[in-house]
Structure formats: structure tokens, C-alpha cells
Structure 1
Amino acid sequence: MPIRTFTPSRRTLLGASAAAVAAAVTGVAPVGAAERPSAHSDARLRRLIASMTLEEKVGQLFVMRVYGHSATAPDQADVDANLKETGVRNAAELISKYHVGGIIYFAWAHNTRDPHQIADLSNGIQKAGLAEHHRIPLLISTDQEHGIVARVGKPATLMPGAMALGAGAFRRGTRDAREAARIAGRELLALGIRQNYAPVADVNVDPANPVIGVRSFGSVPESVAALVAAQVKGYQGAGIATAAKHFPGHGDTKDDSHDQLPHIDHTRQEWEALDAPPFRAAIAAGIDSIMTAHIVVPSLDPAEDPATLSHPILTGVLREQLGYGGVVVTDSLGMQGVRTKYGDDRVPVLALKAGCDQLLNPPNLAVAWNAVLAAVKGGELTEARLDESLLRILRLKARRGLFDRPYVTHRGVDRTVGIRSHLAAADRIADATTTLLVNEGGLLPLSRRRHRRVLVVGVDPASPSGTTGPPTSVLAASLTQLGFTAMALSTGSAPSRAKIDEAVAAARAGADAVLIATRNVSATSAQRTLVAELVAVGVPVIALAVQNPYDVAHLTGLGVRAHLAAYSWTDVEMRAAARVLTGKVRPSGRLPVPVQRADDPLKVLFPVGRGLCF
């Protein structure tokens, strides 16, 4: 079903059931009921819970980070980091001491060096968990959103991110989003990772949003809902638990919850119309888990507690109003947004009282673990309340086959991760995402006769896991492979006078065209100065936004001949952009968000659905 380009009426969405919304936006009946555990499996899980000690029950609620490439023999620097943060040497000791129910992988924690290492780490973690008295497998998770957020890098297949998929969906419907999730899910499964904190279900209403942006599928609630449901089906069809995030919706804020506590001022009616549809669709699609947001939404909770700690939001809205019965996982408890109002000892207790099940990545595990234990012993929390969360978590583990198939193999990795068909699919999906916004005088596609020598300048942001090099280098290499002579010159996101002069001199030295990669341009950005001075050289200038597509608003009027949006600077999207620039592929992406004018943000420069072809 193609993605529609209009915003649905609030009357249509208000009061609609989760099943009705999902059926409307996906054309597929909900599958959640088919994945409910049988009475027999529930009985077995209840007996398991009844046999656990209180300490084991508390531990099963936590999902924790751990440093190192190995469960038992990490590098000494990682041993030191573990001792400093958790008082244990490695993952096996973490499991033995705290009985944690899950571990989250990060690249910066050295968990994801290469596919065989990841598989061995996963197996070591499962061996440690199954060696415990109750032989409970761990739920290993990560944030593999793709695009600008990816913890597992090459040679795994890296797909276009959410907003890029939203751009491609105008012509291709939801099938690419579902296929991308299915492929990514298969590869995560082969690595022993069974829960992915994706898809992002936030509707990116505010262009200045510093934390969501291109991690969102777009600004139209119905379209976001359709793509969220498609990815839920893709991931979970591959055997991976998903986590729609960040409930109740983090798309309309200028604040980053990593650093502060954002406020969302939507009325209840606005929340129903703008933020709720993707979560309703995810629930109807049978989603395994939903991640909370560290945001304040006064219309949903007048007490103005962070949603992660809000009983009215998590129990009243999510559980009771939306009818969600699956696992609720907190966003990282180390983020400042959830720590602003309460101390680290109160946060995990209040999260459980609000309705959370999994407590993700507290800054101090000993403090959090002991606080929950003390709350039960002191009567603030009941053991029965813990049992409710445990049953939901164990159901998820059973549904995803962890009790039956906890281990993975190198052979499975080699047959699945980064295989040729997956890489080809990633390129095919990316080809549909690049969006052409301006093409004055029919400059594009570039001609090898008139534009053979291309100077590629611009930003080279810190490389996400999906890159082999800076985007300027990847673009130049891709253009060269397509028959052009391209040279890369990194000028950065805040080019100095010396860098601007160097780029201008390079353009004058014989470039037939200049391609500038921009990222998050503002009215006072030195990137604007660079663009203006390159235009003044007299050669055609092309601007490619490699993150948010709003850059064009701040570059309009400077004389740039062509503007494109790629939505990320990962290799797969840079290669696709090069194919569009040279006419190897026709541009077919469409804006999934509106671009407002820089001089008057109340007016739209380019509407949702904008996208040129040639």
C-alpha cells in the first residue's frame, strides 16, 4: 500500500482502536494474537518464577552494559572499566553477581568488533546465564536503527535509516522498510542479538529536534505508523524482538533527553492525533516491547513526572487505554532526562511502580539493584509486582526461542551476515531514497563530457558503524567508479578561513563541478560562507544534505544549482547519492517532512512529498 502524503484528520484517529489503525495504514490484519504464549508455556514460566529467589527476580529486570569483546576474557582496559563501573571483571561475573536478565551491546564498549567475535561473546553470555541455578537465557539487545545509529558495523549489512526509508516509501510503499528490517533481523539473530531497540515511532514534528530528526520516518503520523508496523513485522518475522520508541512520543521537542528533561506541550487531542498512531499500529502489529521516553507531557500526567516514571502514562495510557500487554523497557537510566527530578536510587523503583518491566543501563547498577531489593523488602513494591514483569520478560524470551535455541554458530554467521544478496538489497533500497529538491537548468545528471572533474568538499562527521571512511571520500570514490575524476577535500562542519580558501583554490584549479556535503546548516553557519564563495568561482555547485533535509532552506538564494537530501552519511546512502548525481539511477525519493523557509518558519518552502526527477 503506497504511503499517503496527507495528514489524517484528528477525527479519524481519535478513539480508533490499535487494530483499526494498523489495518488502515498497513492493509494487513494484526498478528499479535498469533504470538501469544500457550497456557502450557505460561504454566512452565510461572513455575520457574516461583522457584526464584528475590535477588534473582530483581536481577532479571535489569539490562546492563558490560565492557569487552569476550564474556570471560576481555582486554585489561575493559576489565578496569568494568571494575570501576560495576565492581566485576567481565560479563560472566556480572551475570553471576547480579543475575541480570539482559545485556546491551555498544561499539564503544568494544562488544561489536567483528561478526565472529560478536557471536562468541553472545555464546559466552548465554553459557554464563545457563550455568546459573535456574538456567535462564539472557536477552541480548542493541540499538541497530541503521542510518546514523548503528552499533554493529561492517561487514554486516547497513541499511538506510528511518527518514530515508520514509522518503522511499512514497513510490515503494512499506515493502522496503519491511525488507530492510527482515534482513537486519536475520543478521542480528545470527549474531545472537535477540532484541533490537527499533523502530523509532516518534513523529518528527519539530525540525529543530536535536535527538530524533532523521531517526524518525517522517512528520505524517499515518505514514510513520505504516512504516513502524512494517518494520515490526520484518524484524519479528526474522525472530528478533523489537522495541518501538520513545513512548509517548519524542518528536516535538527542541531539547535532548540525554542532557535535560524535555517538555512536550501537546494537548491530549494533539497527542492522540500526532503521537499515538505509530504506537497504536505497533501494538496491533504484535510488537514485543515498547521503550519509554524521558520526557514530560503535562496533558497526559499533570504531575509532570518523566514518562518513564509516570503511572498515568505507562499504566493509564499505554496499558489501559491502548491495551498493551507486552514488555515495557525504559530508555537508558543513565540519561539526564530521567535523573533530573529524582535520585538514581529512586528512579528504578519509580519506573517499576509506573509500569516498566525492564530497567535499562542504570548509571550505577549496585545502587539501582539494591534500591529495588530494598523497596520489595520494605513493602513499597510487592514481590507479586515483580512477578508480573518477570512473566512478561520470560514470555518474550520464550517467544523468541531463547529457551530452545540460545546459541549461534560461526557457520550461521558466514551464511547470513553481510552476504551478497543482503548488500545488493541495501543498495536497491537506498536507490529509492535520495531526494532531489532543486535542479536549476537541468544541471543533473552530471555529464562525463561537461563535468568530468568533480571537487567534493564538505563535512566529514564522526563515522557511524555503517561507514568505511568520511562521506566526502566515499562520494569521491563512488563518482570515480562511475567514470568521473573526483577529488575529496574535507572542510568540516565549521570550515575555517584557511579551509574555505583551500576549497576555493581547488575549485579554481580546474573543477568542472563542485559537490558540497552539508550537515545541519544554520543561518550563521560557516558552511554558508563556504557555499557562497564556491558559487562565486563560477563552476556549478551542488549541495547534498547528509543528515537533516532542512539545509536547503539556509542555502536558498546563494546560487546553488542543485540541492539533494540523503538523510545520512553512511556508505550505502553516499553510494546511492552518487548514482543519482550521475544519472545511473533516477531520483525517486520524496520529502517525508516539510522544509520551512529560513526567513519565515511559518511558511513552507518545500512540502511533504516534494521530490524532482529527470
Structure 2
Amino acid sequence: MGITNLQQATKAIQGMSLEDKIGQMFVLFAYGPDGATVDARNTKLYGVATPAEVVAKYKPGGWIYFNARDNVQNPTQLATYSNQLQTAATQTGMHVPLTIATDQEQGVVVRIGPPATQFGGNMAHGATRDTADARTAAGITGRELKAMGIRQDYAPDADVNVNALNPVIGVRSYSSDPKLVSDMTVAQVLGYQKDAGITATAKHFPGHGDTRDDSHTALPTINHTLQEWNTIDAPPFKAAIKAGIDSIMTAHIVVPSLDPSGDPATLSKPILTGVLREQLGFKGLIITDALEMAAVRAKYGDAEVAVRAIEAGADQLLLPPAPDVQFKAVVDAVRAGRISERRIDESLLRILLLKLKNGVLFQPFVDPAKIATTVGTPASLATAQQIVDKSVTLVKNDANTLPLSNDPRKILVTGWGVTTTQALANSLTRRGATTTVAQTGAAPSDAAITDAVTKSQANDVTVVLTQKAWDTTVTDKLAKQQKLVKDLLATGRTVIVVAVRDPYDIAYFDQAPTYLATYGYAAVSMESLAKVLYGEIKPTGKLPVDIPVAGQPLTPLYAFGHGLSW
């Protein structure tokens, strides 16, 4: 296309058909690990069988990878897959490459696991208070994604998690403190965009940090007053905009103080245009959260959702669940005069200029042979370990159990996570421990609990890992994880409790004398935990949130900034 500036971009738009323009506003995915894979699920969703055919049919502006949808095998495969998709995109007649994206937030939300470099995630960064490290982590992640042909990361999460019972954000947030979230958000925006040269996406506007509902399955309402929104939720997005954030993702949440209509923010012109564009002055790309999520589909049909999102001010529609219906609805809305073509052109211009900025317009292809020298290098892995080491937070050490001596001992690792319990056991074994693993899951059965208690009595130390033990949204999860911990404590043996996700679990078994928070459950976090347990490093993490008393959300059990050491 030869787009080098605003004038040429505008000229290019004039040569595109309405359907071509609207295709650029869609961000799609397909099942399968390469462009030629035939998958019946693609045929059901799109009417064509392969990812390359999806690109040829819709000429979408963006694409998203998911590990859960058979897209991800390894970084080299992704680089090859990206090239195949770009070949399909540049052979459509428009010759406009895709912006390929993914959700590589790090921590508990990753689409590409090892050998890609793993970090602790946002709340782990918040626990360190180290913005330089947060920027370094984003730079490494961004460069690795770019090597795979991925030019946009749907990160960082800029939500301020002020609700300890938030089922969908939690450790995806840096903190409950708006200033800390703002500082970390800016650091990672700079890491992605300035250091790695990819597009960052702050989410979920106007702020998803104070909800009890999961927008994947229900429509949450945030009842912050306008003053509360300006004080709590807005600062990280304002800071991101000031730092030059390229893209912002909407939230499927109702915020009556910003729009009393009852519409989710994704479909709200007062919020996306009135607040984000006009009040906050954001000039970049607005992308919806996934339109397949229940929250945004609850009030209107899929066709109307697509039209209303554009009317509200969205530039791109992510993961439409009925692509044929929704594509046609937008085309029909323009032809009927409901949406002006000028409005479409405004979004298209932002899309094309961003493709120019992140380099995909002229250099859409990558070299899979360079993956080995870019992704998961020894230097990056070492840096990641050093960063995560600073995040582990020692909340309680009443019995002075920690640090453990170097004496030989038998250690039982139990609780949540097949790979997580084994990763910790591996780290402990490397330090001379004789380890036994008894993984019990998120909702341990009575038999699993009995087995863990029996094994605990045959070991010198038990380390039990909890994962959202506070969460009542999964049947029996609350009672069963708590019961496991309490039954282990009742043995009188040495028990170390570790929350490997949200730090809030301690509120439900505060009788535990030894408690740590890692904020993440990847192997890198378990190695840092082992270092702390054995005293190889001092715990330096500080709580980036209050841990409230169970059932008393305004009463801190352990306050923001708390963290022990030795």
C-alpha cells in the first residue's frame, strides 16, 4: 500500500470497498496450529475450514492466538503460523497485513508458556514496587512476542483491584492502590511500546477492579460514584494515555455514574466517546473485550451488539461469536445510514496508522530460525528469576519456622496444581529435601484430604498450596480448600501455607502460623518460593493490597505494605 503518512493512509482508505473497511474492524481467531489445518469448528463458525480461508473471506484487521483453541504449540510454530496468516492477508487484494495479538499478561494469564520467558504477573510486580523491573519484564515479553509475529499484547491490565472477592481480576491487577497501578502500568506500556516496539493495550476501561461478578458469565455493575471513579479507576488509564498508550480495551461492565442507561461500557457512547475520547483525550485505538462473553450479549442480540459497539466509539470488534451475522449487520447499518462511512473511516485510519507504527505494515513476516536466539534465552530467564525473586511476600512467621535450615528433611508438597506442586517439589529436591507430592486440586475430595493428612504425619514439613481458597463461585471450593488446610494444621506438624494466586486466602484460616504469597504459580514463582523457604534470599515482597478479614471487606487483617523478612 505504500502508506508512509497520514495523507497516504487517507488516500488508501478511499480506494477500499465498504466491506474491506469493515473487515479491518474485526479481530478473529481460528482453530488449529497452522494456516492450512482443516477443522470442523472453523466451518461451523465461519463457513470455511482453515485459518487461511478465514483470513481470505473476512480480510480482518486483527487476529488473536489462544492456547486453549489449539493455536499454540511452541514459539517456532507460532512464527511459522504468523507468516502463513500474513501470506493469506497480503494476497487478499488489499495487501494489508494482520495485526496479530494475544493475551500475554504474564502470571496467571499467559497464552504462550515455556520456553517463552515467564514472569510472576502484575500483582507480583506490585509486591516488588519496582517499576524498572516491570518495564524490563514487558520489554522481554514484547520482544519475544514480536519474534513470533505477534505485534500486539492485550496487556497491561490497568484495573485497580479494590475488591478482594473479585473473581475475574485479582492478581491480574498490580494493586489496590491507584498510584501504584498507575506507575506500574506506565512502566509496562513503555516496555512494550518503546523497548519492544509492539502495541500495548491497557484494559479494562473504565475499570474492572471492584466487582463480584465475572463478565465472562454475567454482567457486572460497578457502583462507584463519579468521585470514586475519578479517584480509584481513572488514574491508571489517564497515566497510560499520558505515556502514549496505543490501544485501550473496553470492559463489559455497567457503571451507572458514567452512563445510567444500563448498557455495558463496550456499548456506551457516553463512556467510550464521552469519557475516553473527549474527557480523557485518548486518540488511539479502542478495542472491545471479547464479544463472545456473556456480559455483552445479555441485553442485545449479536447483530445489534456489533453495531452499538461501533456507535459507542469502538474501533475494533474482538472475537465476534456470530461473525457472518455481525459483519453483515455493520455493513447494513452503514448502507442504511445508521452509521456513516466517515465514522468507519475514522476507525480505519487509526487501525492503519497503528499497523504503520508497530511495523507490521511493511514487515509482516518473521524469521522462525531466529526464535532460539530471542525467545527464552538464558539471559532472559535469569532476569525473570531475579525479578520474581523480589516478589515473594512473607505474611506470617509466628513459629519462626522460616528460614529452613539446610538439614536433610522430608517435605510433603500438597494442595492445588498438578504442575505447580511438582515444580515446587523439584525446586525443594534440588536443595536436598526428600519430597512427596499429593496434589489435591481446587476442590479436594474428602479422600484426597485424608490422604494428604496421613502423608503429612510421615513428613517433617508440609507445604500446602492454595489457589483462590476464598472463592465461593465454584461449588465446594471454599469449604474444601479451607478444610484441607485446617485438617493439616490440626495434625500439629510443621505446616507452611502458600497462596499461589490471590493473597487473600489467609483470611479463611488465620490460625496458620506460617503463610506466604507468591501471586503466581508458574515454575519461576515456585523457584523463588523455594529460595525464600531455605533462606537463600530474604523475602522482600510487600502486600500490594489489603487482606481483609473474612466477611468484613473494609477491615484489614493484613494491611497494604505488610511483609516480613529476617
* Length-normalised TM-score, structure 1: 0.89
Identity, % of aligned pairs? Answer: 50
Code of the residue aligned with 1:83 in structure 2: it is: T
List per-residue Cα deviations over 1:23-59 (Å, max 9, x = no partner).
Answer: xxxxxxxxxxxxxxxx961111111111001110111
Q: How far did 1:305 drift?
A: 1.0
Aligned residues: 558
1:375 aligns with 2:333: yes
Code of the residue aligned with 1:131 in structure 2: it is: Q
> SS state of the match for residue 253, structure 1?
coil
> SS state of the match for residue 360, structure 2?
coil
Code of the residue aligned with 1:43 in structure 2: it is: Q
Match of residue 417 from structure 1: 375
> SS state of the match for residue 303, structure 2?
coil
2: distance between equivalents of 1:336 and 1:537?
Answer: 44
Q: 1:284 aligns with which of 233, 238, 242?
A: 242
Match of residue 475 from structure 2: none
2: distance between equivalents of 1:43 and 1:600?
Answer: 58
Please tell me whether the aligned partners of residues 482 and 509 of structure 2 are also in contact (alpha carbons under 8 angstroms).
Answer: yes
1:210 aligns with 2:167: yes
> SS state of the match for residue 537, structure 1?
coil
Match of residue 356 from structure 1: 314
Match of residue 594 from structure 1: 546
Q: What are the equivalent positions in structure 2 for 1:265-280 lying under 5 Å apart?
A: 265-280=223-238
Please tell me whether the aligned partners of residues 540 and 561 of structure 1 are also in contact (alpha carbons under 8 angstroms).
Answer: no
Q: 1:188 aligns with which of 124, 145, 154?
A: 145
Please tell me whether the aligned partners of residues 4 and 356 of structure 2 are also in contact (alpha carbons under 8 angstroms).
Answer: no
Code of the residue aligned with 2:233 in structure 1: it is: D
Match of residue 501 from structure 2: 547
Please tell me whether the aligned partners of residues 403 and 534 of structure 2 are also in contact (alpha carbons under 8 angstroms).
Answer: yes
Q: How far did 1:538 drift?
A: 2.4
2: distance between equivalents of 1:531 and 1:137?
Answer: 52
1: distance between equivalents of 2:203 and 2:369?
Answer: 33
List per-residue Cα deviations over 1:302-359 (Å, max 9, x = no partner).
Answer: 1121100111000000000000000000000001111111110001111111100011
> Over aligned residues, Cα RMSD in angstroms?
1.4
List per-residue Cα deviations over 1:134-190 (Å, max 9, x = no partner).
Answer: 211110011000111101111111111111110011xxx201110000000000000
1:513 aligns with 2:461: yes
Code of the residue aligned with 2:497 in structure 1: it is: A
Code of the residue aligned with 1:528 in structure 2: it is: Q
Code of the residue aligned with 1:103 in structure 2: it is: W
1:387 aligns with 2:339: no
List per-residue Cα deviations over 1:61-109 (Å, max 9, x = no partner).
Answer: 00001111111x21x4xx2111011111122211221111111101122
Match of residue 246 from structure 1: 204
Code of the residue aligned with 2:364 in structure 1: it is: P
2: distance between equivalents of 1:111 and 1:527?
Answer: 33
2: distance between equivalents of 1:359 and 1:531?
Answer: 44
- Stretches of structure 1 lacking an aligned partner (at least 5 in a row): 1-38, 461-468
Q: 2:426 aligns with which of 471, 477, 481?
A: 477
2: distance between equivalents of 1:375 and 1:214?
Answer: 40
Match of residue 186 from structure 2: 229
1:486 aligns with 2:435: yes
Q: How far did 1:584 drift?
A: 1.3
Stretches of 4+ moved more than 4 A in 1? none
1: distance between equivalents of 2:100 and 2:171?
Answer: 26
1:564 aligns with 2:516: yes
Moved more, 405-414 or 589-598: 405-414
Q: 1:201 aligns with which of 158, 166, 180?
A: 158
2: distance between equivalents of 1:603 and 1:221?
Answer: 19
1: distance between equivalents of 2:426 and 2:296?
Answer: 44
Code of the residue aligned with 1:613 in structure 2: it is: S
List per-residue Cα deviations over 1:267-306 (Å, max 9, x = no partner).
Answer: 1111000000000011011111000000000110111211
Q: What are the equivalent positions in structure 2 for 1:498-537 lying under 5 Å apart?
A: 498-509=447-458, 511-522=459-470, 525-537=479-491
Q: 1:99 aligns with which of 59, 63, 87?
A: 59
Match of residue 83 from structure 2: 123
2: distance between equivalents of 1:231 and 1:211?
Answer: 21
Q: How far did 1:601 drift?
A: 3.4
> SS state of the match for residue 359, structure 2?
coil
1: distance between equivalents of 2:4 and 2:430?
Answer: 59
Q: How far did 1:568 drift?
A: 1.5
Sort the Cα spacing of 1:599 and 1:332 in 2 relative to 1 into closer, same or farther, 3 A.
closer
- Stretches of structure 2 lacking an aligned partner (at least 5 in a row): 473-477
